[in-house]
Amino acid sequence: MKYEKGKAMKDNVMLGFVLSGITGLLLLVYTVNKVQEQVDFLKSGQSTVAKVFKLETVEGDDGVVQYKPIFVYRTPSGEPFIYTDYFASRPASWQIGDAAHIVYNPLEPQQAKILTVFEVFGSSAPLLVLAVALMVVGGGYVWAERFLTSLL
């Protein structure tokens, strides 16, 4: 009875580590796909300079006023487009008149990204680290269990 209970517990632990490894692998595939999408966007996009023309005030969850830059950029034909940064900060990290490189989709110019690592790749780096950690923990446990069992 005690042996069966211990074996069931060991099987549950093994299942947890296997699921951890599988989750890490799926997260890795997702992250690599997202990075590839961003690289494709950068390759096919049109690059130009955008200028901050307005700082929008946004009230944070804690009631503190933050500043969000609003950029304007133009296509080669001179058509203006507005890009509102996703992030707000206090103090303002951008000033009116500041310039930044921006990449936009030539077929849909309103689809744009400021050229910063975080803006372009977003959460890909932390997700990649998490994916590798899950795969190492899950896969490492399963490999060690099988390897050490084969030695006995």
Question: What pLDDT digit, counting tens, does each position of 4-44 carry?
Answer: 666 666 777 778 888 888 999 999 999 999 999 999 999 99
Residue 151 lies in a domain: no
pTM comes to 0.72
Q: Which comes out higher in pLDDT, residue 62 or 46?
A: 46
Ramachandran angles phi, psi of 56, nearest 5°:
-85, 135
Ramachandran angles phi, psi of 31, nearest 5°:
-65, -45
Q: Which domain holds residue 60?
A: 25-146
Residue 12 lies in a domain: no
Q: In the structure, what pLDDT confidence band is assigned to residue 141 with cuts at 50, 70 and 90?
A: confident
Average pLDDT rounded to a whole number, residues 85-99: 89
Residue 120 and residue 110 in contact, taking contact as beta carbons nearer than 8 Å: no
Residue 110 lies in a domain: yes
- Taking alpha carbons only, the member of 111, 148, 127 closest to residue 35 is 127
